[in-house]
Chains A and B, each alone.
Chain A
Amino acid sequence: MDAQDLTYLFVGLSFALYIGIAFWSRASSTNEFYIAGSHVNPVANGAATAADWMSAASFMGMAGIIAFDGRDGARYLMGWTGGYVLLALLLAPYLRKFSKYTVPDFVGDRYYSQAARQVAVICVIFISFTYVAGQMRGVGIVFSRFLEVDITSGVIIGMAIVFLYAVLGGMKGITYTQVAQYCVLIFAYLVPAIYISIMLTGVPIPQIGFGSTLADGSGIYLLEKLDGLTTELGMTAFTSGNKSTIDMLFITAALMAGTAGLPHVIVRFFTVPKVRDARISAGYALVFIAILYTTAPAVAAFARINIINSVNDVAYDEVPEWLSKWEDTGLVAWLDKDGDGRIQYRGGAPLEGGAPVYTGVRNSAGARNVANMGTLNDNELYIDRDIIVLAHPEIADLPAWVIALVAAGGLAAALSTAAGLLLVMSTSISHDLLKKNLMPQISERQELMFARIAAAVAVAVAGLLGIYPLDFVAPVVAFAFGLAAASFFPVIFLGIFSKRMNKEAAIAGMITGLTFTFSYIVYFKFISPETSNPEHWLFGVSPEGIGTVGMLLNFAVSLVVCRLTPPPPAEVQALVETIRVPRSA
């Protein structure tokens, strides 16, 4: 069987598994639909949280970013794992004790205000929505590259699968499919990494392999060799940084606080039986996540070294097949600046204007001509960093079944995250907006029906966005974190740790944090993108890291407003007392 047949087989088997689980775990009450009846075992919840959390971006994008950014890629590694420490110590156990269904539930009850609840609902929908569009696109890309169906059919198949288990099973169905998806995605990530680690260094553990000596008998450390190669070619040495310290600090902080404030992650901690289960469950989640996150930088280093070795100074008609296959998808381009027919892979951007624009004609060597002007440096090769994880098994010449496995893993990562996001959106609508606000008289059966309808509509809209991507969606996804950091994190944190915190402060804080962060991002991304550079940024903080400033503003405004306005009612202060202890007398 070739790679294509194997991919069909693996993807088909994994989908059959997800559908099987969907039928086995149908939800029959709102409690089951929203929080799986709070019966989820903490280890299972840890695995589900990990799959929920690790999206198409973690699976496909992160190692690619690190491969090209080198040490600076650490902002994602630390930011997306360090947030779990905040979640475990500051939020998860207390929200579990509060024991309701959603994040707006907490905001609404703790701040005794429908207005606060509504602001929270808007934040949940906005954050989840920007995030989910990227996932469906990821599903489409995997389908089109590995199964050679067009993106539209790929997205529709993905939607149908998510529809089955999210709409039928709600949180209960999602939880158990996510556990299965975690197993698929981690296996698919580790197998090629271990394979390549053994090939390059002889060490089967990638985390140790990339700090070991090369297996070619030279006795040189892999990272030393890579630093040497990158420097020689005029690139930044792999283990050195390029970004300013202040920007690294702010981006990392925004990603950490954002992770802790993402509603689809928080809600997972409502599904375990006890407060102490919520604590340990955050620990298991981070272990499961760390397995992938500590492997990613190793994969990045291996990929960088493999790419340089396989294409640099190689004549185009002798390059490996993967290069021309990805060139056909538009994610690789070669401009023969010196006319020697060989690929010079050097530092700097190769083409003016970023991404390649193909002319539709091929040059004498057979490569696709580009319309872009060449830049003044010697670099001739454009490689989109999103292809690294998907292309690496081919670059390293691994067997066909490994390539098929990676495709199934990428789909598991995208589908599991999409389902989690769709669920919090539908819950926000049926529970927070309808039941708690607009139509409090509906019965539980009606509420469950509305939840299913909302989930179905959300699936359809997310699918449409995957098929017809809006240009403004992609750059905004990374900022969902900034917005979560600037809105939910301070409000929830202060709601638990300050009894004096009241509704005026919470609303003022959320609105300040959100408005500031949102305007800054919109200004530099859409209104005036040409000025988006360190000279124009506030304190040299990029839009990616501005959520941290928004969060600090939110804290400052909350604390000031809180001093100037009356304290919350006695029953709210008593509520705060209660959530602080696991079993209150």
Chain B
Amino acid sequence: MNEDNGYWRANLRLMLVLLSIWFLVSFVFGILIVDFLDQFHFFGFKLGFWFAQQGSIYVFVILIFVYVWQMNRLDKKFNVREEDE
């Protein structure tokens, strides 16, 4: 039982970190401070515009793969990984 709680706590911590990044790149960079970021340039893009229409999506993809990788590690560490058939 204690081990389960350790697993769940580690899971919540990981989620919190990843969701903060999720919030930052979309709601903060893409919407809240988009005009401020637009004064900087990233190749031919204004930076805020790039985050709103491209960058946030790339980060979303990376976030899910980091989550998968970390959760598989946790599954093994706490011995709750499903057996292979």
Query: In the assembly, what is the distance between CA of A290 and CA of B75, in Å?
Result: 28
Contacts known (A74-B53, A249-B27, A582-B75); A279 close to B68, Cβ less than 8 A = yes
Q: Which residues of A contact B46 (CB under 8 A)?
A: 223, 239
Contacts known (A211-B44, A213-B44); A88 close to B67, Cβ less than 8 A = yes
Q: Which residues of A contact B58 (CB under 8 A)?
A: 290, 294
Closest chain-A Cβ to B52's Cβ sits at a distance in Å of: 4
Question: Which B31-48 residues sit within 8 Å CB-CB of chain A?
Answer: 31-32, 34-35, 38, 42-46
Digitize B46-85: 1 where CB-to-A-CB distance is under 8 Å, 0 elsewhere.
1001101110111011011101100110010010111101
Supply 10 further A-B pairs (C-beta < 8 A) apart from A77-B52, A78-B26, A241-B34. A78-B57, A81-B60, A212-B44, A253-B27, A276-B71, A276-B81, A290-B57, A580-B11, A581-B8, A581-B78
Q: Which residues of B contact A77 (CB under 8 A)?
A: 52-53, 56-57
Does A287 interact with chain B (Cβ within 8 Å)? Answer: yes
Q: Which residues of B contact A74 (CB under 8 A)?
A: 30-31, 52-53, 56
Closest to B64 in A: A283
B52 and A71 contact, CB distance less than 8 A: yes
Question: Which A251-274 residues sit within 8 Å CB-CB of chain B?
Answer: 252-253, 273-274
Q: Which residues of B contact A293 (CB under 8 A)?
A: 57
A-B contact pairs, 6 of them (CB 8 A): A85-B60, A224-B44, A252-B31, A290-B58, A290-B60, A583-B81
Query: In the assembly, what is the distance between CA of A208 and CA of B45, in Å?
Result: 10
Q: Which residues of A contact B61 (CB under 8 A)?
A: 283, 286-287, 290
Query: In the assembly, what is the distance between CA of A290 and CA of B82, in Å?
Result: 29
- Pick from A85, A239, A252: contact of B27, CB below 8 A: A252
A283 and B82 contact, CB distance less than 8 A: no
Closest to A577 in B: B4
Digitize A560-585: 1 where CB-to-B-CB distance is under 8 Å, 0 elsewhere.
00000000000000000100111110
Does A155 interact with chain B (Cβ within 8 Å)? Answer: no
Does A245 interact with chain B (Cβ within 8 Å)? Answer: yes
Closest chain-A Cβ to B55's Cβ sits at a distance in Å of: 10
Q: Which residues of B contact A224 (CB under 8 A)?
A: 44
Query: In the assembly, what is the distance between CA of A494 and CA of B61, in Å?
Result: 25
Query: In the assembly, what is the distance between CA of A212 and CA of B44, in Å?
Result: 5
Q: Which residues of A contact B57 (CB under 8 A)?
A: 77-78, 81, 290, 293-294
- Pick from A211, A222, A282, A297: contact of B64, CB below 8 A: A282
